[in-house]
A and B are shown apart, each in its own frame.
Chain A
C-alpha cells in the first residue's frame, strides 16, 4: 500500500513531465537557409527566383548599356494550384535591381492611387508653399514593363509527392511592344 504523499509526488511529476513534453521552444533561424518544412512554395524558392532573375537581368543588354531604363512592375501571375504571394517575388526583384543602380522604377499600377492622392493634396492644399510643390504633368512614364508567371506541375501517389515550379519573367518595351528580355528558372521538390 503506497503512502498518500508518495502518490501525490508521483502524480505531480507525471503532470510536470507532460507539460514539459508539450511545450515547444522558439529559436531564430537562418533567414537565408534552405527551408524544407513542407513541400509548398517557401522562402528558399522565393529567394532563388528573385536572385536568379535579377542577376540574369543585370547582365542583359537591356541594362549593360548604362542608360538606367525606366521600368514599371506588373504582377507575376500565379498559375499554380496553391496560394503564392507573387507580389513578394516582384518586390524582391525590384529591390535588388534598384539597389544595383542599373534600373530606375516608376510608380506601378498598384501605387498609382497613392501617388495621385499625394499630388492632389499638394496641389489643392492651402498649407503648402506653392513655389516648391510637385506639379501635375511631370511624372515620367516607364519605357519598359516587367511581368511574368509561375506555373506548377504536381504529381502524387501514396508514397511520393513531386512538385515542379516554372517561373518565367519578361521585360517588354512599352512603346514598341518588343520583348527585350526574358528568362526562366525552375524548382523541383520531392516529398517521400
Chain B
C-alpha cells in the first residue's frame, strides 16, 4: 500500500513536469478559444513564445511571438486559418508568407481575420 502511494507521488510529479514541458512548448495563449499552433514538418529550434487573440472593432487580430533559438538565420513560412464560432473554417486558404529571423531574435507576427465572423485562429508554420 505504501509502495503504491509512492508510485502515485512519482506519477503526479511526472504529470506536473509533462504539463510544464507541454506549456513551454506550445507557448502561452491569451484570449484565443483554441489558438492552435501547427508545425508543418520539422522547423528546428523555433519557439512559440506567446499567442494572443485580440478582438477589436469586431475584427479578430492574432499576435504570435516567435523566437529563433538557433545560432543561424532562419527563413520560415507561416499562415493563419480562421474559424467562425461554430469552428467552421472561413474563406479560402491564406497564402503562405515568409518571416526572416536572426539568431536568438524574437519577432511578433500579426494576423488579421478576413471578416467579423472569425472568432478563432490557427497558426501554421513550416520551413
Contacts and interface: CB of A to CB of B under 8 A. Distances in A.
Given A59-B56, A64-B57, A101 B115 contact: yes
A59 to B, nearest CB: 5
A58 B57 CA distance: 10
A47 interface: yes
Given A55-B112, A58-B59, A32 B91 contact: no
Nearest to B77: A34
Contacts of B58: 64
Contacts of B45: none
A32 B112 contact: no
A175 to B, nearest CB: 25
B114 A44 contact: no
Interface residues of B, number: 20
A21 interface: no
A47 B94 CA distance: 9
Contacts of A64: 57-59
Contact of B95 (A47, A56, A59, A100): A47
B97 A48 contact: yes
Looking at A51, A56, A99, the one whose CB has the most chain B CB atoms below 10 A away is: A51
B114 A32 contact: no
B61 interface: yes
Interface residues of A, number: 19
A119 B44 CA distance: 61
Nearest to A57: B112
Contacts of B30: none
A96 interface: yes
Contacts of A56: 112
Contacts of A59: 56-57, 59, 61, 112
Interface string A8-47: 0000000000000000000000101110000000001001
Given A51-B97, A100-B114, 9 more contacts: A47-B95, A48-B97, A51-B94, A54-B114, A58-B112, A58-B113, A59-B56, A64-B58, A99-B115
Interface of B: 56-59, 61, 77, 79, 91, 93-98, 111-116
7 contacts: A34-B98, A44-B98, A48-B95, A51-B95, A55-B111, A55-B113, A99-B91
Interface of A: 30, 32-34, 44, 47-48, 51, 54-56, 58-59, 64, 96, 99-102
